[in-house]
Every structure is written in structure tokens, then in C-alpha cells.
Amino acid sequence: MVAVTDPDEEIFCLYTHMNSWSHNAHVDQRSSVFDLGSISVRQDLSLLSTKGVTGSVVWDASVVLVELLQSKQVPAISLSGARILELGSGAGLLGSFLLHQPIGHLTLTDQSHLLRLLQKNVAMNHPSIVSAESSRLEIVEWAWGEPDGFRSISALNPPRHTESESIFGLDYIIATDCVYNEFVVPKLVFTLHQACMLSDRIRDTLGRRSPDSKANLNPASTSAPAPDSSFPPTDRSRTIAIVAQELRSDLVHQLFVKSILEIGFRMVRLVHPLLVHDFIDNDDDDDGADPGEIASNRNQAGGASSSPGPPDHPASLTSAICMYLLWLP
């Protein structure tokens, strides 16, 4: 992981190799159905033609994040028993994957006109969970930037006298390919900050009330969090936001990083073969392997060979996906 403290330096590092990136290397948005392993989601091409609507098809970042989570190679993330909120769930690829994992609770959100497609795809992959109205799943509308938007999220609205931590507060907030123009950045950053702040407040309050609060620590962690606050805690003492996005405009990306740091988040970028690399990572690589090579072909990444490979993209091109972990100190 690389600590991010300077927006200008981050942009300089990331955009040095931009000529070798391959956009939409993992998806075919011309198809009505997208398959990834055992998961199948329908894409609504008619909605995609509507101005301002992007969530009706699958984008690269969600595919890469699924493969990264499947690899279990990110020590800071453990899905076992996790309470997760996804912002901008879109066609539901990531949500459908997460419901195959041993998570505690999942809240999927998007704008109202995308909820029908989202519900349909989740139901197609998990008919028993949706038909039984499982306590593990919640699908609701959340318009970013609205001060009261969180009120529709049960995990952020515990009853006043509850002492249970089991279903309130969040371990992870996930957003994939949600940074795509300068107008959406302030609303997304506001919503990420609001959700993390409320979740941490709930966690702190209920943790003081409950003698069993230690039972909710990350099962993958056997020690106290590292004293170095430059890296995310591994004991679930803080809510961690996971932001995976495809690099497009350097100005938009710079605005996002700058806004995240200014509002008070700590921020690290993951370094992994499935993710875009910067020139510093490449220069410091002792074995001479290019950390971005694997991401150009799904058949080489994490054993996901049962999925159709990306069309029309040479294997020499690298992923344009980067991933950040954010948390409030």
C-alpha cells in the first residue's frame, strides 16, 4: 500500500504510463448479458443511451474488484461477517458476488431508475435470498449529496436504545467507477464522509454500551492495529471505504483525491498486479516483473478463466483501474 498525501504527486505518479492503459479491457458493453464465473448480469443498453446514466452496464472497476476480493490478497479487507454498503451498485455484479461470500449484511444502493435492473440481477443470481426477503440484504435508493439520504439505510439508523452491534454500523463502504466527471465528485465525497462518520459514531457509541464489542473484531486480525495511522486499521475499529475506479481525466481524478484529503480522510492506494501501476512501483520492482501485466487478460487474473476474455485488447496493454482505501482517523 502507498500512503496518499499529495494530490499533485499522486496524479504525476499514476498518469506517467497512461499511454499503455486499456480502457474497458474486461467488459463488453455491447452484450445484453455479462458473465463472470458463476455470476450473470443483464445490461440495459437502452438506459445507457440516456444522458447521465452509466449504471445500467458493467464497468471494468467492478470486475477487477471482484477478482481482487476473490484472491484474498488484501490483508486490510476481510469479508467474513462484514457489514457492507455499496454506493452506485448499478447492474449488481459486485453485489451478486458479495452475496456468495460469508458476509453479515449487504446494502445495495443507486438512483431510483436503476433499482429495478439491480433487483432483477440480484434475484437472478440469488433467487432464494431475494424471495425470502433475507435479513442479509437491503436494496434502497440513495441520491448522493442529500443531507438526509442516509435515513433510508437501516445500518446507519439504529433504534435509540439498542445495545446490539451485530446489524448496525458498517465495516466497509464500496464505490466502483463512481468518479467519472467533476460534477459528481463533491456529492460522492460528501456521501462517503457522511456514511463513514455516522458509522464510526454508531460503532463507538454501541461499543461503549456493549460488553461483547470485542466479538466484532476482524477475525483475520490477531493483533492490535498498527500504531502507524498512515495505514488502515485491521481490527474494524473504523469504517473503511473501498474506492475502485478507472483512470480517465487527470483533472477529475485530482479533484477527487484533493477533496478526499481536504475533508479529513486518510488515504492509501493498493499496489497489486490486478491494478494500474505507477512509475515508482515499476522502478522499485525487484524481480523486474511489470505489476500491471496480469490485468490485461482476465484469463490470467486470479483463475477467472471461466469468464469470457476481453475483446479487441492486446495483452501488452495494462489495466487502468486503481483502488483506494479511505478511513477517518
Report whether 35 contacts 93 (CB < 8 A): no
| Predicted local distance difference test score (pLDDT) of residue 236 | 84
pLDDT tens per residue across span 170-210: 999 999 999 888 999 999 999 999 999 999 998 888 764 44
Q: How far apart are the C-alpha atoms of 190 and 14, rounded to whole Å? A: 24
- Does residue 223 carry a pLDDT above 50? no
- Does residue 57 carry a pLDDT above 70? yes
| Predicted local distance difference test score (pLDDT) of residue 56 | 73
pLDDT tens per residue across span 96-128: 999 999 999 999 999 888 899 999 999 999 988
- Does residue 259 carry a pLDDT above 90? yes
**Which of the residue ranges 25-29, 91-95, 142-146 would you say has the lowest mean pLDDT?**
25-29
**Averaged pLDDT for residues 123-134:** 76
Amino acid at 316: S
Confidence class of residue 211 from pLDDT cuts 50, 70 and 90? very low
251 exposed, middle or buried (CB, 10 Å; 0-12, 13-18, 19+)? Answer: exposed
| Predicted local distance difference test score (pLDDT) of residue 31 | 81
pLDDT tens per residue across span 229-257: 678 888 888 999 999 999 989 999 999 99
| Predicted local distance difference test score (pLDDT) of residue 287 | 38
Residue predicted with more confidence, 193 or 27: 193
The dihedral region occupied by 224, where left means phi > 0, alpha psi between -120 and 50, and beta the remainder, is beta
**Averaged pLDDT for residues 125-136:** 74
**Averaged pLDDT for residues 257-275:** 92
- Does residue 282 carry a pLDDT above 70? no
Domains in the chain (CATH in brackets) are 2-220+227-327 (3.40.50.150)
- Does residue 289 carry a pLDDT above 50? no
Mean pLDDT of the chain: 78
**Which of the residue ranges 125-129, 259-263, 267-271 would you say has the lowest mean pLDDT?**
125-129
Question: How does strand 240-246 pair with strand 33-36?
Answer: unpaired
Q: How far apart are the C-alpha atoms of 136 and 155, rounded to whole Å? A: 11
The model carries a pTM of: 0.81
Please state the separation of Cα 265 from the chain's center in Å: 16
Residue predicted with more confidence, 177 or 157: 177
| Predicted local distance difference test score (pLDDT) of residue 309 | 35
- Does residue 215 carry a pLDDT above 60? no
Residues in a beta bridge with 21: 318
| Predicted local distance difference test score (pLDDT) of residue 160 | 62
| Predicted local distance difference test score (pLDDT) of residue 72 | 84
In residues, how long is the chain?
329
321 exposed, middle or buried (CB, 10 Å; 0-12, 13-18, 19+)? Answer: buried
SS3 sequence, the chain?
CEECCCHHHHHHHHHHHHHHEECCCCCCCCCCEEEECCEEEECCHHHHCCCCCCCCCCCHHHHHHHHHHHHCCCCCCCCCCCEEEEECCCCCHHHHHHCCCCCCEEEEEECHHHHHHHHHHHHHHCHHHHHCCCCCEEEEECCCCCCCHHHHCHHHCCCCCCCCCCCCCCCEEEEECCCCCCCCHHHHHHHHHHHHHHHHHHHHHHHHHCCCHHHHCCCCCCCCCCCCCCCCCCCCCCCEEEEEEECCCHHHHHHHHHHHHHCCCEEEECCCCCCCCCHHHHHCCCCCCCCCHHHHCHHHCCCCCCCCCCCCCCCCCEECEEEEEEECC
Q: How far apart are the C-alpha atoms of 69 and 73, rounded to whole Å? A: 7
Q: How far apart are the C-alpha atoms of 289 and 1, rounded to whole Å? A: 18
